[in-house]
Every structure is written in structure tokens, then in C-alpha cells.
Amino acid sequence: MIKGDVIAKVIVIVLIAAFLGIAAFNMLAPKASPAMGNAPAGMPPGGNAPASGQRAAQGGQGGGQSGGPAGSTAGNTAGSTAAGSTAGNSAGGSGGRPAAGRPAANAITVLAKTLQPETIRQVVKLNGDVSSQSEVNVMPDTSGKITRMIKNLGDTVQRGEVIAYIDPSRAGQSYSENPVTSPVAGTISSLPVTTGSTVSSATVVAVVGSLDNLKITIYVAEKYSAYLRRGLPAIVSFTFAPDEEFAASVSSISPVVNNKNRTIETTLLLDKRDGRIKQGMFASVYLVIREENRSLVIPRAAVKNYNGDPTVYIIDENNLARRVPISLGLTNDSDAQVISGLKAGDRVITAGSVTDGSPVRIAAAGLSSNTD
């Protein structure tokens, strides 16, 4: 009886030792990891993981054989989980999304502008005529008939130079010619008489304007009257030099509106005298009626209508198009000032058909920026 008890105790001790040994082995055995080792040539990264999972599964099966079904299930689960996790990580990456800053393979090619503070102007194109600021009416000293016209319209005259001759004689008197001379140097801007015309001392024979003080007369539409002021800048061009620009500014504004064409007569003075500019010339005038400095400016083509409100698409840090509502200020034929909704540094899509969340890539040489 005593011998049987001893044998039973020995069996219990052996079983306990075996259980402790198996537990220690499982704790000390290396676990499967995708990062263990480098993949052999020809095998994708993480290629060692299935083998590690297989070893873990075998270990589990061994434990199951010694310790029962629970050990076998735990071992199989550990091996399958390790292998599946590694395979999933290798195949899926970071959820299938492109890395930050890198466009996706199916990205839409667009053009974009990086916003920086700049100046926007509202410009009105008008036609103007060049004339002298100081014009003098030339009249004869006596009455008579114009016998000869010495000068023509547009001719330059010096002070005291003859413009025409008058015969003041009357019937029965001897023939004589009296000269009509210019009191100033300048250009003849008007010749209201011709040879044979009868004139008096109150008749204007010619109008002479000074070449040193030229002005440009324009007629501005009534709707811009609130913006008209002295000193308003303008750019002027002439047909003799179509690629040149001449700076000018508003010097005077008529206090009344023309009832017939609803315009306001406005006078410009050139900033610098240029001998090529003559009285009577036609001028193309670009009048800057409004100007905003240090503004965020976008092409009008970039502005979209979304539910009746202006919006634009910007490119976020993940190279995705994002729809942004904005408020607009000053606009001209090509650009628009952004009052709210955007900030300096934003990349605004200026060309390309996108929707909110579309992956995009900027075309080569397709990113522009303007700075003041």
C-alpha cells in the first residue's frame, strides 16, 4: 500500500515538471514578427513571416499533444494569426492610401497657383484725343477776304509766323494784303476758314496750341463716377508706338454729366513730355479706377458656383482636391480678389475637372505664384 502511494506521488511530480517545462519553453520561444530578418532574394519583404508562423503553429501542436486540446488550439491560433498579420501588412500597406505628399497613380492632372499677396486693379479702356492745354484763337486785325492760306491744319508755327493773308481793300481801293500772324508758338489745331472766306476782326482764323502742355480728353461712363478723382493713374498707348506705355493721371473732372451719352468729360496729363506725341493724335487709355494692394488674387476661371455660392478647389497636403467656399471682392476681366476663405500659401486649382476628394497631381510647370 505504501509502495503504491509512492508511485502515485512520483507520477504527479513528473507531470508537474513536464507542464512547467512546456510553459517555460513557450515563454522563451521567439515569436513570429514581420520585421525579423531580411527577405531572401526573390521573396517579397516579410517573406520569412509564414515560416515563423508555421514554427509557432508546430510548437502549439506539440503543446497540445502534451497538454490536451486547449494547447493545440492556442498553438494553431498563434501561428495562423502571425502569418495572416504579416501577409496583411505586406499586401495592404497603410490602408491602401498614397503616402503623404505623393499623388496617387490615378491622380487627375491639374494646374494650380500658390497664393501670395499681390495687387489687383480694375481698369476701364477708353479712347481719347490729344490736344493742347493752352490754345489761342488767332484773329485778324481788320475785316476783309482771305486771299491765301499759308499754313495747314497740324502745321507747327512760331510766334509771329504768318498763317494767312487778308485783302482788306474795298471796291474802288487799291489791292493790298495784310498778314494774319500767330501770337504764340505751337501747332495749328483748327482752321475754320479757307481761301475766299470773308472775315472780320472777331473771326477766328486759326487755333494754335502749345506743344509743351498737352492733354488727353476722355469720356468716362456715369457708372464709374464714384471712383473718379484727381490723380487717378492711367496708362496710355499710341499707334506710333503700340508696344510702349505712357504714364498719365487725371487732372480735371467735369462737374456735370453729359445728358446725351451719360458720360463725364475727364482730362489726363502725361507724366513726361514726349516729342513724338502730337496734337490731334488718337490715344488708347487704360484708366485704373480701383486698386487693392497686398491681396490674395485668383484667376476668375478658378471660381466655381456651388449651390449659388462662389467656391474654389485647393490641393491639401495629401494631394487631394478640397472644395472651399470663398468671398470675393474686387474683380476685373481676368482676376478676382479673395476676401475670405483662403490664406497665403494655399494651392488653388486653376485648370482641371475635379470633385471634392479627387486625387490630383500638378502638371509640369503648372504651378504659378505672384508676389508684390
How far is CA 18 from its chain centroid? 79
pLDDT over 70 for what percent of the chain? 71
Q: What is the pLDDT of residue 212?
A: 76
Domain 212-292, CATH: 2.40.30.170
Q: What is the pLDDT of residue 205?
A: 96
Q: What is the pLDDT of residue 101?
A: 57
Q: What is the pLDDT of residue 40?
A: 39
Tens digits of residue pLDDT in 65-102: 433 333 333 334 333 333 333 333 433 344 445 555 56
User: What architecture does CATH give domain 108-118+293-369?
Assistant: Beta Barrel (2.40)
Q: What is the pLDDT of residue 25?
A: 60
What is the C-alpha to C-alpha distance for residues 270 and 249, in angstroms, rounded to an integer?
7
User: What architecture does CATH give domain 134-209?
Assistant: Beta Barrel (2.40)
CB 192 within 8 A of CB 205: yes
Q: What is the pLDDT of residue 253?
A: 97
Q: What is the pLDDT of residue 320?
A: 97
Regions of the chain short of the pLDDT cut 70 = 1-6, 10, 12, 14, 18-19, 21-103, 170-175, 365-366, 370-372
Q: What is the pLDDT of residue 65?
A: 40
| pTM of structure | 0.56
